[in-house]
Amino acid sequence: AIDVTLPGLPLPAGGLHPINRVYDDLTAIYERMGYTVVEGPEIEDEHHNFEALNVPWFHPARDLQDTFWLEDGRLLRTHTSPMQVRYMVDHEPALKIVARGKVYRYEATDATHEAMFHQLEGLVVGDHISMADLKGTIAEMARGLYGATAKVRFQPSYYPFTEPGADFAVYWDNPRGESKWLELGGCGMVHPNVFRAVDDLREAAGKERVYEGKTGFAFGLGPERIAMLKYRIPDIRYFYANDPRVIGQFRGEL
């Protein structure tokens, strides 16, 4: 006879990778603020990755991001910022987007550096967008991640595609007593040369020039840094080594 009251056998459950879980947290926060979530190509050309972002070939900033070059001038994108250019060429202002995805840098790996990692890029363009809007947005993200008491900190920095540019940190206020400032990413007001390069590309594609005189802000951050703290993962290489002892801890957690 069959005892239908016996508990069933548990089915093995998969789980989301910690980076995807952090991405989902972040995109939920930005969707609440009315942002559209987009993705784009990991294989880029020099123009979108550098030139159109106000980084000419002779610019020393090219050395800051060592590049994996492919054939005929193509490359693995070194950041998600080329998505700013792609999205603006295809869409007219006003706009609010976050772009997520993998980026690649030709560097030696250690506990905090990988040759492949992830970024979340934000871009807001419209009329009279200011640095105050940028600060408010980053603060709202920090509250979404770490609760109402979260703090943010900005310090001046340099990115060729911003003017002014800044780096930002959020205060990670944690009951385990590990609270600290987490340097999370770069940001700034979109440089007018980026708008000009976008309009040039639009014109070449037979579209109207619509970015002259617009203002906007952008930011880029690394979900690995958030995930390492949140899930206490001490080495960034654990994310991608496919060791079941690491990834198995996220089984059944969706």
Which residues lie near ligand TYR (CB under 6 A)? 79, 81, 121, 159, 162, 165, 185-188, 218-220
Retrieve residue 108's tokens. Answer: 């030696």
Q: CB 7 → ligand TYR: shortest distance, Å? A: 50
In the chain, DSSP assigns E strands to 36-38, 43-45, 74-76, 95-104, 116-126, 152-157, 162-172, 180-190, 215-221
Distances (CA, A) of 235 to 39, 100, 101, 239: 27, 22, 20, 8
109/65 Cα distance (integer angstroms) = 14
- Name the minimum Å distance from CB 4 to ligand TYR: 58
Nearer to ligand TYR by C-beta: 54 or 228?
A: 54
Given the complex with ligand TYR, which of 149 and 155 has the nearer CB atom? 155
**In a 10 Å sphere around its CB, with 0-12 CB exposed, 13-18 middle and 19+ buried, how is residue 160 labelled?**
buried
For residue 241, how many other CB atoms are within 10 A of its CB?
10
From the number of C-beta atoms within 10 Å of its C-beta (0-12, 13-18, 19+), residue 147 rates as: exposed
Q: How far is the CB of 230 from ligand TYR (least distance, A)?
A: 21
Nearer to ligand TYR, 130 or 174 (CB): 130
- Least distance (Å) from ligand TYR to the CB of residue 159? 4
Decide whether 67 or 81 has the Cβ nearer to ligand TYR: 81
- Taking the complex as a whole, the smallest distance from the CB of residue 231 to ligand TYR amounts, in Å, to 23
Return the SS3 of 165.
Answer: strand
Of 84 and 89, the one with the shorter C-beta distance to ligand TYR is 84
Closest CB 65 distance from ligand TYR, rounded Å = 7
Q: Which one, 18 or 160, has the nearer CB to ligand TYR?
A: 160
User: 239 with 222: CB under 8 angstroms?
Assistant: no
